[in-house]
Amino acid sequence: MQGEPASDMSMTEAKVDLKEHPIMITLQDAIAGEGFLARITMYGRALMRMEDDGKWWMYGVSPAGIAVSGSNIDEAFRRFRNRYKEILFDIAQESQEFEEFKAEVERFFSEADSDNEDERLWERALTAVRCGPGTPPGPFSNLPRQSPETNPTQIRVERVDANAKPQHFMPSDNVVDTYTVARAA
């Protein structure tokens, strides 16, 4: 009959049983370096996975150089976030000027893992999400969902101190740290 659901399945989406979960990350930091202050806004990718040790592991895809674990996905994200910031601090410590800092942050962000396995796993997990019916499982079900096409990977490194031109700061420049799960199409 018109107006009635075709089945119970259309009313509630089925759970997707994935081992790897494609995550999109948005982070913003203000980092002080030798004579400069920089704002780094990162739109990255990570792969979240429950390992045999019972911990959630978060593997960076963009940036690829980070892998951390936590007892739950929130703890893994916090540890990932903290490790990322520590790397930015280290790069600032080693940089003599803003342009050197910017180039090294962009290099770090763009560098893939040695065999590009995490990128392939991320793409495979995204395909599984798109091919499977339903909503993300358990700990991912309450996360916001976003299409990777509307949030492409990128990093912006901007000089924001008194020597930056032009100097125009707005509250709309602020970005909230988030992680979202990939949405099917």
What pLDDT shows up at residue 166?
Answer: 66
Q: Please state the rounded mean pLDDT for residues 110-135.
A: 83
For the cut 90, the answer to whether the pLDDT of residue 6 exceeds it is: no
Any bridge partners for residue 157, and if so which? 40
Q: Please state the rounded mean pLDDT for residues 41-50.
A: 94
What pLDDT shows up at residue 36?
Answer: 92
Q: Which 8-state DSSP code applies to residue 139?
A: G
What pLDDT shows up at residue 15?
Answer: 44
What pLDDT shows up at residue 71?
Answer: 95
The region of weakest confidence among 84-93, 98-107, 126-135 is 126-135
**Which residue in 31, 106, 108, 113 sits closest to 67, CA to CA?**
113
* Three-state secondary structure call for residue 12: coil
Q: Which 8-state DSSP code applies to residue 52?
A: T
What pLDDT shows up at residue 103?
Answer: 98
Q: For residue range 136-173, list pLDDT tens digits in order.
A: 667 777 787 888 888 899 999 999 987 777 666 666 67
Where do runs of H (alpha helix) occur along 28-171?
Answer: 73-94, 98-110, 117-131
